Homo-oligomer: A and B are copies of this chain.
Amino acid sequence: MDKSTYIQLLEAHNIKPTANRIVVVEALANSMLPQSLAELERRIQTIDKSNIFRALTLFREQHLIHAIEGGNDGTRYELCHSHSEDHDDDQHPHFYCEVCQQTYCLEGLEVPQVAVPQGFEIRSVNYMIKGICPHCQSES
């Protein structure tokens, strides 16, 4: 993907494509794994963390990225796959390895739905599995 692709992506979500925001969205796009704010800070030395944070907040509001929680160390962010402007519908389960502490996307899988009681309105679902990943499995 080149720069103009990211600009289009930002614009599709009504985000003005500033230089910093392009860098942040690019960093997310190039990440295999969902990134925490701290990881993005480490990766993007040129932008202040408050600005990365503000970019992420904006991206989240515009449904360009979504947040996943429940691994261990705070919130992680990943690009939405479905590029809808007003909601996320590409939720997939995540797997947090208790040994290497990486969070994997289980992209091929769907988050199974549960039948919630009458009156609960579902907006989103976080499905986080914890355990040991194949790599750490074979180490032991």
Residue of B nearest to A68 (CB): B70
Is A129's CB within 8 Å of the partner chain B? yes
| Cα(A132)–Cα(B120), bound, Å | 6
Is A19's CB within 8 Å of the partner chain B? no
Q: Could you say which residues of chain B place their CB within 8 Å of the CB of A137? A: 119-121
Is A109's CB within 8 Å of the partner chain B? yes
Show 20 residue pairs from A and B whose CB-CB distance is below 8 angstroms, ordered by the A residue: A68-B70, A69-B70, A69-B71, A70-B70, A70-B128, A98-B123, A106-B117, A110-B114, A112-B114, A117-B134, A122-B129, A122-B131, A123-B132, A124-B129, A124-B130, A124-B131, A125-B130, A126-B128, A126-B129, A127-B128
